[in-house]
Amino acid sequence: MVQNKSKRYEKILRNPTTVKMLALQIKQAADDYIALKISENEFTELILYYARYHGKKMFSRAGDLNPTLLNRIGKKRAELVKIALTGFQMCMF
CA atoms within 13 A on the CB side of 87: 4
For 36-85, write each residue's pLDDT tens digit: 999 999 999 999 999 999 999 999 988 899 999 999 999 999 999 999 99
**Alpha carbon 1 to its chain's center:** 29
Quote the number of domains for the chain: 1
Of the candidates 15, 81, 71, 20, the one whose C-alpha atom is nearest the C-alpha of residue 47 is 81
The pLDDT value recorded for residue 52 is: 92
pLDDT value at position 8? 56
In a domain, 10, yes or no: no
Band of residue 89 on the pLDDT scale cut at 50, 70, 90: confident
Q: Which amino acid is at 84?
A: A
Query: 66 lies in which domain range?
Result: 17-84
> What is the per-residue pLDDT across 2-16, written as a single tens digit (0 to 9) for each?
444 545 556 889 999
Distance CA 47, CA 25 (A): 10
pLDDT for the residue 91 = 65
